[in-house]
Amino acid sequence: MRTFSFIILLSFFSLSSLHAQYGIVKTYLFTQTNFAGNIAVDEHGKQLTPGVTTAVFIYIKSKKIPLFKTATINGKTYSVEIIKLKDKVILVGENETNQEPIQINVEESFSIYQLILTPNIIPALEYNKTPLKIRLMGSWGKQKVSYVINQKPIGLYSLPRP
């Protein structure tokens, strides 16, 4: 019976550590669709830039996160810049569905990190229908790490005003 209890306890800690990998408590994923006004074309009339693009916004709640350097979305790699936000209430923007403000409340012992992707404009995504899979690559001390975000993003109608 003692061995069985130990195995149950060990399984519990293993499962809970998977959900808080690298100390990450929660990820927030937002997208905003942008429509180009004038679309550049070449001499044959072929579009040089896409008419519809998607901006991706990633926020992570944690005490400390790995030093992520790149993000891969749909097979394309983007560079990542991490900004530790100091506010305890983060205004993200307005929800695309109902234009209600979206904010992230930060508990005292945690921080919110915003990951800025470069370039932030990626080809149009079919969001809000299927989860968006993003693989973050970086380092945790001297160890190379990979962290996958696989969740349904929330569409943004507008971003917060500066």
Q: SS3 string of the chain?
A: CHHHHHHHHHHHHHHHHHHCHHHEEEEEEEEEEEECCCCCECCCCCECCCCEEEEEEEEEEECCCCEEEEEEECCEEEEEEEEEECCCEEEEEEECCCCCEEEEECCCCCEEEEEEEECCEEECCCCCCCCEEEEEEEEECCEEEEEEEEECCEEEEECCCC
Report the percentage of the chain scoring pLDDT > 90. Answer: 45
Within a 10 A sphere around the Cβ of 61, how many other Cβ atoms?
A: 20
pLDDT on residue 162: 58
pLDDT on residue 9: 39
- Rounded CA-CA distance 17/14 in Å is 5
pLDDT digits (tens, 9 = 90+) for 87-117: 999 999 999 889 999 999 999 899 999 999 9
pLDDT digits (tens, 9 = 90+) for 113-123: 999 998 766 66
- Rounded CA-CA distance 33/128 in Å is 11
Residue 2 confidence (pLDDT) above 60:
no
Residue 58 confidence (pLDDT) above 80:
yes
Q: How confident is the model at residue 128 (pLDDT cuts 50, 70, 90)?
A: low
